[in-house]
Each structure stands twice: as structure tokens, then as C-alpha cells.
Amino acid sequence: MKATKRFGLFITILFLAASGCESLFQKDGDVNIRIQNASSFNMDSLFVIFADDEVLYGDIGSGETTSYKTVSRSYRYAYIETKVDNHTAVLQPIDFVGESTLKTGNYTYLLDLINSGDTGYSLTLALRKD
């Protein structure tokens, strides 16, 4: 009987300790990034090249937001490419000199498109900590 009580006490303590965690499934160091299409255009085949990972987010309709994708390391901006009305729009970082990596947590890249007429579209990005 004593062993059963100890086991029950152990399970209770374990449950209470785990319930105090921010997330049971988020590993230490995870950076989770989703994309929000803040433009009035649909974005097709959107992919992002982070510091160590390449992620295909796919098609994102105007005003839509993707689910979070976990990356090992990222900065406040990244290489982003998408198709819009048969044009390719690219956000090309020059380098990450002087930048700090994002801390563990959830973030949203808010993307907007500027119609540049015959030359296509330009991407703009704003980072939001969720």
C-alpha cells in the first residue's frame, strides 16, 4: 500500500510540475515562425530560407495566416520568395552582421506586397513576437 501512495504522490508532483511549463511540447530553444499575408494579393508557393532551415509554407491567401513552423535558428528577417500573378517576389537579405538570433518563442512574419507595375511586386516584412 505504501508503494501505491508514493507512486500516486510522484504522479501528482510530476503533473503539477509539468502543468507549470509554458508548453509540454516546445523544446528548449525552439523558434516557431508563421507567416501572415497582410497584402490584398494571394501568395503562391511561398518559401523561406532561415539561418539553418528551408521551409515551404505553400499558398497563402490574402489575409490568411499559416500554422507555426519550428526552425532551429532565425533572425528578424530571412530570404523569402513567393509567386504573385506569374511574377516572383523576393525579399533578399544582404547579410546578418550585427543581428541577434531570435529568442525561444512564437513569432509572425507579417508580409505585404507592393505592386511595382510592370516590374512586378516587392515584399515587405515586419516581425511580431506572439
The whole-number pLDDT of residue 28 equals 57
Taking a C-beta distance cutoff of 8 angstroms, is the pair 34, 66 a contact?
Answer: yes
pLDDT computed for residue 26 by the predictor: 46
Q: Are 89 and 113 in contact (CB under 8 A)?
A: yes
Strands (E), the chain: 31-37, 43-49, 54-60, 69-71, 79-84, 87-91, 105-115, 121-129
Instruction: Note the pLDDT tens digit of each residue in 34-81.
Output: 999 999 999 999 999 999 999 999 999 999 999 999 999 999 999 999
Residue 104 CA to chain centroid, in angstroms? 11
Q: Which CATH superfamily hosts domain 27-129?
A: Domain of unknown function DUF5300 (2.60.40.2890)
Q: Among 5-14, 60-69, 89-98, which stretch is predicted with the lowest mean pLDDT?
A: 5-14
pTM over 0.85: no
